[in-house]
Amino acid sequence: MRRRSEPHTFEQRLDAQRLRLEHELASLPDDHRRESVAARIEQLQAAAEMYEFLMPQESSRAAH
């Protein structure tokens, strides 16, 4: 039976996707697809920043 891997956090999945797209971007010529991939990378970075902003910090949880 196949073992399931450990679940990844949302942040880890965002980072892995961003790294995959950056690698793909490096091999694309200057065209519409390259612009689309670059826009997707920006969206992933914005999502990571929003997630970090919205999630409670460990230090504030310990204080309560």
Buried-exposed string 27-46: b where 16+ CB fall within 10 A, e elsewhere: eeeeeeeeeebeeebeebee
Quick check: helix, strand or coil at residue 5? coil
User: Where does the pLDDT of residue 58 fall: very low under 50, low under 70, confident under 90, or very high at 90 and above?
Assistant: low
Rg of the chain taking only CA atoms, in angstroms: 16
**The dihedral of CA 9, 10, 14, 20: what is its sign?**
positive
The pLDDT of residue 51: 92
| C-alpha to C-alpha distance for 14 and 45, rounded to whole angstroms | 8
User: Where does the pLDDT of residue 57 fall: very low under 50, low under 70, confident under 90, or very high at 90 and above?
Assistant: confident
| pLDDT tens per residue, range 19-47 | 999 999 999 998 999 999 999 999 999 99
| C-alpha to C-alpha distance for 14 and 11, rounded to whole angstroms | 5
- What's the whole-number average pLDDT of the chain? 85
Q: What is the mean pLDDT of residues 44-63?
A: 79
